[in-house]
Structure 1
Amino acid sequence: MQFFLRFTALTVEVDGQAQKGTWSSRFVPLTPGSHRVDVYFRYLFKARCCEAGTTVEVSDGQVVELEYRAPQLMTSAGRLTAVG
């Protein structure tokens, strides 16, 4: 199933602003402070499939790395965690 997801556009939403993404690394510059990050993708008739979200605190000059993992079942939530 994971193979087929490579052909699906991933959406990264930061503070309510959606950005189309791919299933690879991406850099999103942010101002210092608290930011809400949500990740999901469209699958069949569901607009926000396997959604996962977290709030991150960003300090001046800091890089926060997050990793999104899609679940095995499309009816489950994904997982978005800080790396490192």
Structure 2
Amino acid sequence: MRFRDRAGRLQDGYSRQCPSCEVVLFFAEDSLHPFIKRAMRNARKVRKELREAEMARLLVPDAPAAPSRSFEGRRRTAGRSE
């Protein structure tokens, strides 16, 4: 059975109980099990991508704010007078 967990949690020394068979799985960097190795490698990759995206977001200045749409359609038309 496959189950998902957050990449931030899946670090060396993390353990989790399987929801179907209730066996406790231990995640270690030096594990010999290929599925554990793959999960640890994928979690490292995701954490790295998240850090890079966060750094890019911090380094790039915010884009100018779009005008508010709250008054869209309430403007006075050119031919109308009061």
Is the TM-score greater than 0.5?
Answer: no
Query: Please, what TM-score do these two structures have when normalized by structure 2?
Result: 0.23
Q: Which has the higher strand share?
A: 1
Query: Please, what TM-score do these two structures have when normalized by structure 1?
Result: 0.23
Q: Which has the higher helix share?
A: 2
Larger radius of gyration: 2
